[in-house]
Amino acid sequence: MPGISNQELIEKAVITTDALASAGKLNPAQADKFIDYVVDETVLKNNARVVRFRNETLEIDKIGIGRRAALPKAEAQDPGLRRTISTSKVTLQPREIMVPFEIGDVFKEINIEGEAIEDHVIKMMATQLANDMEELYINGDTVGAAILEGDYKDGGSTSKYVKDKYLALQDGWARLGDGAHVLDAQGKNIGLSIFNSMLRAMPTKFRRNKAALRWFLSPDLAQLYMEKLATRATALGDQAAGGAGQNPFGVPMVEVPLMEFMAPVVQHVALPGTTAVALRYAPISSVVVCISTLDATAETPLILNTDYELNTTAGTINRKSGGAITDGQTVKVTYCANPQILLTHQANFILGIGRDIRIEKDRDIFKGVNQYAITAKVAVTLEETDALVKGVNIGTGV
C-alpha cells in the first residue's frame, strides 16, 4: 500500500467498519502500517528496537567479540592464535492481548456524529491500545500487582482488590532493570551528580557514544530537574527556564508519560515469625498487602497493625502475631517507591509486535450492539542487560 500514511491507513484501511480484511485479519501491509501507527503514537519511536514477528516465539541473534582481538605481530611468524566472535540469543515469548468493546444502536442514533461514530470510536481504541502496550513494556511485572476491582472493570468494588492480569503478562523494562546495574541515590534529589553516578556505573564499552544513550524518566521528575537548573543564577539557569539543558552530560532525556513519578512495585514476600523483612526499595508509600494467591475474585486486603506491621521509612514488613497471616505465609505487597531513572542505549529496549493482528466485528441482535475486538501479540525484553543502569530511590524534591 505505497503512499498511504499511517493516519490514512487507520482511517481508510485498518479500522473503518467497511474495509476490514478477510475474517478481520489484517494483510501484511496493513499489519505493518498498524504497527507503525502504534509505535508512532508513543515515545517508543526512535527509542526502542521494534521487532515484527509471526512465530509463537522469536529468537534474536546477538553477536559480539568478548575479548581483545589484536595481537602483537612478529615478522614472518604466525601469531599462533585466532580470534572469533561470540554468539548468543535473546528469546521473546509473545503474549496475546485484546481490546474488546461494543457500540450500541441507540448511542449511534443520538450522538452528533451519527454512523461515523463507529469509525471514530475504533480509532480511539487503537490509540488507547498503543498507550496500554507502552504501559506493559515499561511497568509489566509477572508477579501481578493488586489493583482495585473498580479500577479494573466498570461496576467493580472500590474497596476490594484483584490481580492486575494485564501487567502480569510480562516483565517490563523497569522490572528487568532490577537485574542490571542498580544505583541507589539514597534519597538524594535529582541533579547532575545522580546523572554522573549513573553514567559511571555503566560499563565503559556501552557509553562511548553518549548521543546513542537515553535517560528514561517520568515527566514530573524531568520537570524537577529543569526547575533545579532554572534556579541557578547563571546563563544555564536562564536557558533551562526556556527548556534547554535536557541532555545531561550529552545524553538526551526522554520523558515517558506512562512512567509514573512514584515507581509502582509489587513483590511476593514470605513472613516468618514476626521478623521484619526488607522489601526491594525504601522508603515506600501507598502500600496494599493481599494474599499471594489473589486472582480475578475480588478480595479484601489484609489489615495494617492487625495482620501486619510496616516501617515505611526502612521499607520493611512483618507479620503480626494473632492476625490473619500464618507463620511463613507469602503475601503480595503492592506499593510505590521513590522516583527512578533508566539509562541505556536507544536500541537496547526490544519490543515485539506480531503481524497477525485482527480487528473483528460481530453483531448481537438481542442486545442491539456491534461488537469489536482488536487482537495482537506483544513481547518485551532487553537485548543486553549489562548495558542498562537503573537509578532508584531518587528524592522527590528539587
Judge whether residue 395 has pLDDT over 60. yes
pLDDT at 358: 81
pLDDT at 65: 47
> What sections of 140-274 are H helices per DSSP?
149-152, 173-176, 192-201, 219-230, 235-241
pLDDT at 209: 87
DSSP state of 243: T
What cell numbers appear for 215 in the block? 535517560
Beta strands in the chain (DSSP E): 49-53, 58-64, 86-92, 95-104, 146-148, 161-163, 181-184, 213-217, 253-255, 263-271, 277-278, 284-291, 308-311, 316-319, 329-337, 341-345, 349-354, 358-364, 369-382, 388-392
Mean pLDDT of 174-190: 96
Residue scoring higher pLDDT (55 or 36)? 36
How far apart CA 106 and CA 368 sit, in angstroms, is 8
Mean pLDDT of 188-203: 96
pLDDT at 114: 63
Mean pLDDT of 105-131: 75
Judge whether residue 170 has pLDDT over 60. yes
Residue scoring higher pLDDT (369 or 80)? 369
How far apart CA 187 and CA 193 sit, in angstroms, is 13
For the chain, which domains are there?
Answer: 6-57+92-170+349-386 (3.30.2400.20), 263-337 (no CATH)
- Taking only the tens place, the pLDDT of each residue in 245-277 is 588 999 999 999 999 999 999 999 999 999 999
Helix (H) or strand (E) holding 34: helix 28-40
- Taking only the tens place, the pLDDT of each residue in 313-352 is 999 999 999 999 999 999 999 999 999 999 999 889 988 8
- Taking only the tens place, the pLDDT of each residue in 121-137 is 877 888 888 889 899 99
- Taking only the tens place, the pLDDT of each residue in 18-53 is 433 344 667 777 777 777 777 777 777 788 888 887
Judge whether residue 234 has pLDDT over 70. no
Q: Which of 109-113, 152-156, 177-181, 185-189 has the lowest mean pLDDT?
A: 109-113
Residue scoring higher pLDDT (216 or 14)? 216
Average pLDDT of the chain to the nearest whole number: 84
- Taking only the tens place, the pLDDT of each residue in 377-390 is 899 999 899 999 99
* Amino acid of residue 102: E
